[in-house]
A and B are shown apart, each in its own frame.
Chain A
Amino acid sequence: GAVVSQHPSRVICKSGTSVKIECRSLDFQATTMFWYRQFPKQSLMLMATSNEGSKATYEQGVEKDKFLINHASLTLSTLTVTSAHPEDSSFYICSARGGPNQPQHFGDGTRLSIL
């Protein structure tokens, strides 16, 4: 089945650091990738949608200068949390799909802890 690889799985860093998370579709071309944030025992909150080669569409309340998303190829999207602060600590999940009617496949998630 389709596989989405997300890296790293866990990051612990100091406040003020920028952190990059990668999301790769391993065996299909992902025209659309999604980035979610999940708080403990909560549902997934969509942060942004990115289509290959174009700017990401951010959900209301998500700072695009804080959460930089790049979808430069059909197999790779990156989320960079710039100047991270403790309140950015969370579980971040990416997902990818090949087309509008294709299933959405999820990465393993990244646990981000900002000290």
Chain B
Amino acid sequence: AQTVTQSQPEMSVQEAETVTLSCTYDTSESDYYLFWYKQPPSRQMILVIRQEAYKQQNATENRFSVNFQKAAKSFSLKISDSQLGDAAMYFCAYRSLASGGSYIPTFGRGTSLIVHP
């Protein structure tokens, strides 16, 4: 079974600064997706960024980028120029692409990001 570990329950960052959220995962599969989701106080889960495991290039989405280290099974999220609206819970998720699989994502425990003005 796959596991996703987010070792930082809470992180703080000053507005306009950069912060990195950590995520590691355990799998024996070679094909999978990795995701970062944001859950603001309004509680709706929003997809921030997605990474296909077969792609060596790190995914980026505006101020959000990932550092995907497949061999190390690490998938960190970097938020640049942090904004007050970035304050939220961030969940890392893994989804298998194995043939015959259910493709159900496994979520980490989440990291609460606090942004100080």
Q: CB within 8 Å of B: which residues of A?
A: 34, 41-44, 46, 49, 91, 93, 95, 100-101, 103-109, 111
Contacts and interface: CB of A to CB of B under 8 A. Distances in A.
A105 to B, nearest CB: 8
Interface of B: 37, 42-47, 50, 89, 91, 97, 102-105, 107-110, 112
The secondary structure that dominates the B interface is loop
A111 B91 CA distance: 20
Contacts of A100: 103
Contact of B107 (A41, A44, A101, A109): A44
Nearest to A2: B47
28 contacts: A34-B104, A41-B89, A41-B110, A41-B112, A42-B110, A43-B91, A43-B107, A43-B108, A43-B109, A43-B110, A44-B45, A44-B107, A46-B104, A49-B102, A95-B45, A101-B103, A103-B47, A103-B50, A104-B47, A105-B47, A106-B37, A106-B44, A107-B44, A108-B42, A108-B43, A109-B43, A109-B44, A111-B43
